[in-house]
Amino acid sequence: MKAENIAGLTVDQVRLIPKKGKILIAEKTTDEAILKDLATNRAPEVRAMAASNPCISGETVAALASDAAPIVRAGVAANANTAPDVLAKLAKDPVPEVRISVAGNPSTTQETLFMLLDDREVAVREAIAHNSNVSEVIIAELAGDDVDSVREGAASNHNINILTLSELAEDERMGVRLQVVNNPKVTPEILATFVNDFKAQVRKAVASNPTTSADTLNQLINDKDDAVSASARANPSFVAEKLW
């Protein structure tokens, strides 16, 4: 089965295709009738792919939320078109993979995400930190997590508040500080605080950041690390300042 051959297939025709082809059809089709039929397929892999398809009807995907197979419930939890109340139910699922999918779903409500902040699985909190729709209040909570990777995720999130970003700039872990430097919300003032960072990787990231001010770059061109100095000299902000 090739993707280009899926359009135009009927439900009866799909039933005659082996599992591997059904999985591809469940992923690619936009036909609600086919997805409804695949949602009852005996193979969990097929049902899971149908559950994650954004074209599946709300009624069908809601029914799959109670599927016995965790992989299917995870597919429902990952679907951005799954209703918030269904996602809230799945947030209490005993299987971590299902809760991880809920935590990363941009359609999950802030109330549900807040509840998942106390999840014992690190991967769940990491998923919240990378959620594109998470609130700055929840990011601030994640910024205080004991696990480095969770704080790194918080520092990388584009929804972070500048106050939270400033606090994470002082984090003891280099990975967190690097995420702060590379966050699109970072300000010249925050970047300037890294001039004397004890890790060359962090200083190099600052030297390469186009948001870094000319004053900060002028300090970094004299850095003891050649790679940092070279990055500062190559930064467009430094070049523009010299040409001006």
Which tokens is 55 given?
């074209």
Axis-axis angle for helices 122-129, 148-156 (nearest 10) = 10
Which tokens is 167 given?
């606090």
> Rounded to an integer, what distance in angstroms lies between the CA atom of residue 48 and that of residue 121?
22
Q: What is the pLDDT of residue 238?
A: 82
In SS3 terms, the chain reads as CCHHHCCCCCHHHHHCCCHHHHHHHHHHCCCHHHHHHHCCCCCHHHHHHHHHCCCCCHHHHHHHCCCCCHHHHHHHHHCCCCCHHHHHHHCCCCCHHHHHHHHHCCCCCHHHHHHHCCCCCHHHHHHHHCCCCCCHHHHHHHCCCCCHHHHHHHHHCCCCCHHHHHHHCCCCCHHHHHHHHHCCCCCHHHHHCCCCCCCHHHHHHHHHCCCCCHHHHHHHCCCCCHHHHHHHHHCHHHHHHHHC
Which ranges of the chain have pLDDT less than 70?
1-3, 239-244
Q: What is the pLDDT of residue 243?
A: 43
pTM of the predicted structure, to 2 decimals: 0.91
Q: What is the pLDDT of residue 7?
A: 85
